[in-house]
Chain A
Amino acid sequence: MTDGAAIRSRFLPRFLTIATGRIERCSQLAERGDWNAITTELHALAGEAALLELRDIANLAREGERLARKPESQVECASILRSLEAQIAACASAS
């Protein structure tokens, strides 16, 4: 039996560091208009969060990834990035 809770607990601090870095990179990439690179960062973040059962963060990252692919949705994607930053900070505070 896989002890998901134990794995989550062990890897959560590392996830929070990585996730914070990914969002910082996304913000820099958004300033440069590199939305393709943002989809890569958010796709990776979605997978990492999903594995640690951080569903809110995973769902937001997936939505951000979807929006980043569409030029007309990039303002919405920037809003998702801010929500992700807040969610990650909340997760860090709670841990």
Chain B
Amino acid sequence: MTTKKVLVMDDSELVLDTVKEALETSGFSVVTAKDLTQLEERCSRGVPDLFVLDVQMPEMFGDDVGQVLRDVRKMKVPIVLFSSMDESTLAERVRDGGLDGCVSKSAGLGALVTCVESLLGTPRAS
């Protein structure tokens, strides 16, 4: 079975590294981007199976990035928002952006892994 690749975008390198560790431990391959330039570069090497996007970043909002990936770039892979915003605000942004899911950072890394597994399957159970 091919390892599923997740692209995580967040302006905090600490968040990127903790999320990468949690997802890799769960059997996913992870690439990270801390800004739009890095996102473009990572995508040019191959479209991931799922995007995890922070919402509030210095140069843009993650849900806007998600909409561009979905509507302009025509990427059909799942897009999940991951933010310290409250869950109702996040859910609203997911609805408005036509995205696939959201996890509050307050819910922890386990909740993010569960969300990714629900969209991509459980690597170690396959």
| B120 contact set on A, CB distance < 8 A | none
Query: What is the count of residue pairs linking A and B with beta-carbon distances less than 8 angstroms?
Result: 61
Chain-B contact segment, one of A26-34, A43-51, A79-87: A43-51
A18 located at the interface, meaning its Cβ lies under 8 Å from any Cβ of chain B in the complex = yes
State which residues 91-120 of B face A: CB under 8 Å: 104-106, 108-110, 113
B25: chain A residues at CB < 8 Å are 2-3
Kindly identify which residue among A2, A18, A47 contacts B110, using a CB–CB cutoff of 8 Å.
A2
Chain A count of residues within 8 A CB distance of the other chain: 23
Which of A15, A18, A48 has the most CB atoms of chain B within a 10 A radius of its CB? A48
A65 nearest CB neighbor, chain B only? B84
Q: Measured between C-beta atoms, what is the minimum distance from A12 to chain B in Å?
A: 10
Assuming the contacts A2-B110, A44-B11, A51-B108, asked whether A7 and B18 have C-beta atoms less than 8 A apart, the reply is: yes
Contact (Cβ within 8 A) A47 B12: yes
Partner of B19, one of A4, A15, A46, A51: A51
Q: How far, in whole Å, are A62 and B21 apart by their CA atoms in the complex?
A: 25
Identify 8 new A-B residue pairs, CB closer than 8 A, beyond the known A11-B18, A15-B14, A62-B84. A2-B109, A11-B21, A46-B105, A47-B10, A47-B15, A47-B105, A50-B84, A51-B108
